[in-house]
Amino acid sequence: MTWNKARRKIVNAVMLSLTGVCTLVAAGTLVFILGYLFVNGAKSLNWDFFTKLPVPVGESGGGMANAIVGSAKVLLLATVIGVPIGFMGGVYLAEFGGTIFSAVVRYVTDLLNGVPSIVMGIFAYTIIVAQQKHFSTMAGGVALGVMMIPIAIRSSEEFLRAVPLSLREGAMALGASKSKAIWTVVVPAAKAGLITGIMLNLARVAGETAPLIFTSFGNSFWSPGWDKATAALPVMIYTYAIGPYDSWHQQAWAAGFVLLTLVLAVNIIARMILAKRGHVAR
């Protein structure tokens, strides 16, 4: 009896400390990464980083203004491609789903979500770069846009589904057709969630490197328009981090810091919107 009790207490203590240690390791790793990046990144970060072009090897200073703008352009294009398709697909699955076809779509979407990002890069390479015979901002945007689709579909579907049936019925009881009820009541009710979904989706693809390496490639200069190769932050980090020069490493740290800060900021804002509005309005 007492032995049992003692044994139980020991097992409890051991398990408790095990879970505690594992939590510490997990959280500690994150804190370490953030801290390390912060220290190294902030050290080499200055105003030039945001305003100047990269300088040739051997010169000091310079920045990654072109990569920041390039990343923004690629992400903008990705949003323009991925979000409307994903959103419409989500509306279809949430509001007109329940058929075998929609089950297939859902399954394929999940498969697409599991496709390695480098495969997405090859896809964009094949349909755009290989045809045009040159890298471009557009190809990078398409690669990331296609990556955004499955998540956009599933997150839109989820947030639309969370809108109570009673709101749809309320609108339809007033003479609204199903599609009118969706556009005027259901989508507005899910708005906060839908926007948050887009932001989290963007934050996720913002750091993708592999699909960009052979689509938007890289560029040491400005890349006006959509038709030329462009620098982007994740690719820049990769290139500079594996380079042999110490000044490059410093720049890579700074770029990593900027990218992480942006992604973190987007994440936090998105989650704040969600927390404030609740999952849906009701």
Partner 1 sequence: MWLVEMSQGDRMQASPGRQLQTMSTLPNIGLPSGAESRPMPEAAAKLSADNLNFFYGNFQALHAISMKVYDKRVTAFIGPSGCGKSTFLRTLNRMNETVRHSRVEGDILLDGENIFRLDVNDVRRRVGMVFQRSNPFPKSIYENVAYGLRINTSLGRSALRDAVEHSLRRAALWEEVKDKLHQSAYGLSGGQQQRLCIARALAVNPEVLLLDEPCSALDPIATAKIEDLIFQLKDSCTIVIVTHNMQQAARVADFTGFFLLGKLIEFDNTTVIFKTPARKETEDYVTGRFG
Binding flag, residue 23, partner 1 (CB under 8 A): no
> How big is the site for partner 1, counted in residues (CB under 8 A)?
22
Contact 233, 68 (CB under 8 A): yes
Nearer to partner 1, 4 or 166 (CB): 166
Cβ contacts of residue 180 below 8 Å, gap of 6+?
A: 171
Instruction: Work out whether 91 is an interface residue with partner 1 (CB under 8 A).
Output: no
Q: Is residue 173 near partner 1 by the rule CB under 8 A?
A: yes
Q: Are 162 and 193 in contact (CB under 8 A)?
A: yes
Counting contacts by CB under 8 A, is residue 177 touching partner 1? yes
According to CB under 8 A, which residues from 222 to 251 bind partner 1? Answer: none
Candidate residues 172, 195, 241, 273; the one interacting with partner 1 per rule CB under 8 A: 172
DSSP string, 2-24: HHHHHHHHHHHHHHHHHHHHHHH
Pick the stretch among 35-43, 112-120, 170-178, 231-239 that binds partner 1 (CB under 8 A): 170-178
CB of 183 to partner 1, least distance (A): 10
Phi-psi region of 62 (alpha: psi -120 to 50; beta: other; left: phi over 0): left
Q: Which of 9, 43, 180, 271 touches partner 1 (CB under 8 A)?
A: 180
Instruction: Say how far apart CA 208 and CA 227 lie, in whole Å.
Output: 20
| Backbone φ and ψ of 134, nearest 5° | -155, 155
Angstrom distance (rounded) from CA 48 to CA 65: 8
Using rule CB under 8 A, residue 182 touches partner 1? no
Question: What's the sign of the alpha-carbon dihedral 137, 140, 145, 148?
Answer: negative
Query: Comparing C-alpha atoms, which of 159, 130, 152 is closest to residue 202?
Result: 152
Contact between 280 and partner 1 (CB under 8 A)?
A: yes
Which segment (86-94, 101-109, 161-169, 231-239) binds partner 1 by CB under 8 A? 161-169
Contacts of 165-173 with C-beta under 8 Å, sequence gap 24+, read 167/282
The nearer residue to partner 1, 195 or 281, going by C-beta atoms, is 281
Q: Which C-beta is closer to partner 1: that of 170 or that of 225?
A: 170
Give SS3 for 84.
Answer: helix
State in angstroms the smallest separation of the CB of 167 from partner 1: 6
Considering only residues 164, 204, 226, 227, which one is a binding residue for partner 1 as defined by CB under 8 A?
164
The C-alpha atoms of residue 111 and residue 78 are separated, in whole angstroms, by 20
Q: Using the rule CB under 8 A, is 167 a contact of partner 1?
A: yes
Exposed (0-12), middle (13-18) or buried (19+): which is 89, by Cβ within 10 Å? buried
148 binds partner 1 (CB under 8 A): no
Closest CB to partner 1 among 160 and 210? 160
Single out the segment in contact with partner 1 by CB under 8 A; choices: 103-111, 120-128, 179-187, 248-256.
179-187
Applying CB under 8 A, which of residues 120, 171, 254, 266 lies at the interface with partner 1? 171
- Give the binding site for partner 1 (CB under 8 A): 98, 164, 166-177, 180, 184-185, 188-189, 280-282
